[in-house]
Structure 1
Amino acid sequence: MRCAPQIKIAATYMRGGTSKGVFFKLDDLPVEAQVPGKIRDQLLLRVIGSPDPYGKQIDGMGGATSSTSKTVILAKSSQPEHDVDYLFGQVAIDQSFVDWSGNCGNLTAAVGAFAISQGLVDADKIPENGLCTVRIWQKNIQKTIIAHVPITDGQVQETGDFELDGVTFPAAEVQIEFLDPADDDEEGGAMFPTGNVVDTFVVPDVGTFQATFINAGIPTIFLNADEIGYSGTELQDDINSNPEALARFEKIRAYGAKQMGLIDDVAEAAKRQHTPKIAFVARPQNYTASSGKNIQAEDVDLLVRALSMGKLHHAMMGTAAVAIGTAAAVPGTLVNLAAGGGEREAVRFGHPSGTLRVGAQAVQENGQWQVKKAVMSRSARVLMEGWVRVPAEVLE
């Protein structure tokens, strides 16, 4: 039996927001994996440790959750007035595919820091002390994101006192601006792909619900918690330990994807797990977060719970937070109504790990809602850097 040797590839393991992922420079990848296709996907699957029928990703860098089964490929930008091109791959855990259909907002917080430290940002743009503004071209969704990365003594500052619920230790604050976050040029059409801020949504053999379908940050389906039998205060185990509930959410998500025009047949949703997201909202209530922290109703404008890759997320996906902020800014959406209605430029919402504030400004032009920018703060830091090793056979 011929045994292929292992190859090593320069990589950095980073936390960004409440996610972790393996970061690569495009030109550090094997030549065969520098272009989209089967070889690239095989390589990233093997790096992360998928597909794993045990669901643990023991033989790879993944952490067996949607938040830790992620890869990022960066290159000096080919776009005018941008510093870096950012490509995100969400790696399935127990299946053999990489989903390239959307962005990761949490890992976006680490993109600027990685780009600076890896020489992808021109040296004359990096101050000795202060904030370095990194213009990011998000290739998955063809959008501009701006990261404001703190610099101390010419180096990326990673430590600080900024606390982010869902992350154990404080770190330096990185402010992220998502410009023109509505995916109005992407498949699925306008910011509200059905043309309505609220629809009556019929899911065969499940029920009929009110729903807000929105393309902003990431395509998202918002439901009212009480209409699907929840309070909005649920933690991960309340839903993830219930296979029937997860199957029900997946069916709702599949039919929602079709209604949004993202797929032609509900069966296609199985190969598009990263998008759309599904979330449910509720009016503020007291609850205890997963850390034991008590969240008071007066601390938040609304409650939101969201699922990612088929499971309730432990905190909130960054892109879903953009969708929340955008929907909250548009009067009449389910998110806006849960927050009390009216005009809003920012909301603080409760999630399973605590709270998060996100801002967005909405304007109506020619009868269509538009959001020019959504803003939130995250943190990021390098966890490990060096090389990952994978069997050479993945390049065949």
Structure 2
Amino acid sequence: MSFAPQIKIAATYMRGGTSKGVFFKLDDLPVAAQQAGKVRDQILLRVIGSPDPYGKQIDGMGGASSSTSKTVILAKSSEPDHDVDYLFGQVSIDKAFVDWSGNCGNLTAAVGAFAISNGLVDAARIPENGLCTVRIWQANIHKTIIAHVPMANGEVQETGDFELDGVTFPAAEVQIEFLDPADDGEDGGAMFPTGNLVDTLTVPDEGSFAATFINAGIPTIFLNAEEIGYTGTELQDVINSDAKALARFEKIRAYGAVQMGLIADISEAEKRQHTPKIAFVSKPKAYTSSSSKEITALDTDLLVRALSMGKLHHAMMGTAAVAIGTAAAIPGTLVNLAAGGGEREAVRFGHPSGTLRVGAQAVNENGQWVVKKAVMSRSARVLMEGWVRIPADTLD
């Protein structure tokens, strides 16, 4: 019996924010995978090690969590006044599908660095020292993101003293601007898809809950922690070790997705795990983070816990942080009320690993809220570069 040989594909393994993923240049992929479709998805699944019924991704590059089961494809931008096109694929761990429905805000921090180092940014735009402004076209959601990447002696500076809760070691700070982050009506309607800042979400056998539905950064459902039986100080194990709680959150998420107009029937939620996100908020309280850091009630404006791919996130998704900052800037949302209400341009929120500050500029134009941009800082670092190998019959 003969077996297919392995083929190798140029790739870079990078940390961006509190996530890790495998990065590819589009033209380094096999020709059949340079277009969206079955072959591309099969390759990415095999690279990451999915589907894995054991949930460990031992036979691939994935790390058995939503934060580490990620892929990125980059190319010189086809959009005017942009440097790089950024396509993100969230790979399911135990199922054979790749979710292309949203962005990864954390890995966005690594996109600029990869683009500079791999010739996707014109050399004339790259300073010897200082900050390189990389104009990113986020192809999943059709939005512009600006990354300010530090340069030293003509190379991307990755080391530094910027500390990010949820990441063990300090690194160089990368400031990211998400321009016009709210939905423009292409997927699920406007920024507030129901037209309301707060709705009632009714879920059979679970009850009715106040909810803020928002399309900003990523479609997100915000709930009040106390209303669903939590304090807002929970760490990962409290939620992720409770199968009934996870099933309940997924059921609420599915009904919320229908109410947001993202899906027509709750059965479709299984194939759309990446979006919408579901999160719960509360007023500031003292708690001990997962790294044993003591967070006082004075350290934050509010507390937020968010789920990604069916599990409580160990810190906070970057795109969900954009949604938090945007909702906090608009008086009357559940996020804004948890932060004390009123107008604000930035919030510091507590998450399981610590705290994070995010800013957003919101204005009321003709009775409609418009968010010009959201800003946050992240860091990024190359972990390994070279080739990934997969069996050749993956392309069949």
- Give the shorter-chain TM-score range: over 0.9
Specify the SS of the correspondent of 1:66: coil
- Equivalent residue, structure 2, for 1:120: 120
The CA distance in 2 between the partners of 1:335 and 1:269, in whole Å, is: 24
Summarize deviations over 1:73-121 as a string: whole Å, max 9, x none. 0000000000000000000000000000000000000000000000000
- Equivalent residue, structure 1, for 2:141: 141
The CA distance in 1 between the partners of 2:50 and 2:149, in whole Å, is: 32
- Matching of residue 374 in structure 1 with residue 374 in structure 2: yes
Specify the SS of the correspondent of 2:67: helix
Q: Cα offset for 1:195?
A: 0.3
Superposition RMSD in Å? 0.4
Amino acid of the structure 2 residue aligned with 1:151? M
Amino acid of the structure 1 residue aligned with 2:11? A
- Equivalent residue, structure 1, for 2:220: 220
- Equivalent residue, structure 1, for 2:319: 319
Q: Cα offset for 1:376?
A: 0.1
Summarize deviations over 1:36-77 as a string: whole Å, max 9, x none. 000000000000000000000000000000000000000000
Q: Cα offset for 1:203?
A: 0.7
The CA distance in 1 between the partners of 2:51 and 2:190, in whole Å, is: 35
Specify the SS of the correspondent of 1:67: coil
- Equivalent residue, structure 2, for 1:130: 130
- Equivalent residue, structure 2, for 1:64: 64
Q: Cα offset for 1:368?
A: 1.2
The CA distance in 2 between the partners of 1:154 and 1:288, in whole Å, is: 41
- Matching of residue 347 in structure 1 with residue 319 in structure 2: no
- Equivalent residue, structure 1, for 2:29: 29
The CA distance in 2 between the partners of 1:233 and 1:126, in whole Å, is: 43
Question: Where do residues 162-181 of structure 1 align in structure 2 (5 Å cutoff)?
Answer: 162-181=162-181
Specify the SS of the correspondent of 1:259: helix
- Equivalent residue, structure 1, for 2:356: 356
Summarize deviations over 1:149-201 as a string: whole Å, max 9, x none. 00000000000000000000000000000000001232110000000000011
Q: Cα offset for 1:2?
A: 2.7
The CA distance in 2 between the partners of 1:366 and 1:202, in whole Å, is: 31
- Matching of residue 108 in structure 1 with residue 69 in structure 2: no
Amino acid of the structure 1 residue aligned with 2:348? R
Specify the SS of the correspondent of 2:369: strand
- Equivalent residue, structure 2, for 1:305: 305
The CA distance in 1 between the partners of 2:79 and 2:98, in whole Å, is: 25
Specify the SS of the correspondent of 1:14: strand
The CA distance in 1 between the partners of 2:122 and 2:289, in whole Å, is: 42
Question: Where do residues 270-285 of structure 1 align in structure 2 (5 Å cutoff)?
Answer: 270-285=270-285
The CA distance in 1 between the partners of 2:127 and 2:185, in whole Å, is: 35
Amino acid of the structure 1 residue aligned with 2:257? A
Summarize deviations over 1:189-216 as a string: whole Å, max 9, x none. 0000000000011111111000000000
- Equivalent residue, structure 2, for 1:52: 52
Q: Which runs of 4+ in 1 moved over 4 A?
A: none
- The normalised TM-score by structure 2 is 1.00
The CA distance in 1 between the partners of 2:243 and 2:380, in whole Å, is: 33
The CA distance in 2 between the partners of 1:351 and 1:191, in whole Å, is: 24
- Matching of residue 14 in structure 1 with residue 25 in structure 2: no
The CA distance in 1 between the partners of 2:102 and 2:313, in whole Å, is: 16
Aligned residues: 396
- Matching of residue 187 in structure 1 with residue 187 in structure 2: yes
Amino acid of the structure 1 residue aligned with 2:29? L
The CA distance in 2 between the partners of 1:118 and 1:237, in whole Å, is: 39
Amino acid of the structure 2 residue aligned with 1:30? P
- Taking only the aligned residue pairs, the percentage that are identical comes to 85
Summarize deviations over 1:331-367 as a string: whole Å, max 9, x none. 0000000000000100000000000000001111122
The CA distance in 1 between the partners of 2:148 and 2:207, in whole Å, is: 44
Amino acid of the structure 2 residue aligned with 1:106? N
Amino acid of the structure 2 residue aligned with 1:59? D
The CA distance in 1 between the partners of 2:361 and 2:15, in whole Å, is: 28
Amino acid of the structure 1 residue aligned with 2:51? P
Question: Where do residues 259-274 of structure 1 align in structure 2 (5 Å cutoff)?
Answer: 259-274=259-274
Q: Cα offset for 1:280?
A: 0.1
Amino acid of the structure 1 residue aligned with 2:41? D
- The normalised TM-score by structure 1 is 1.00
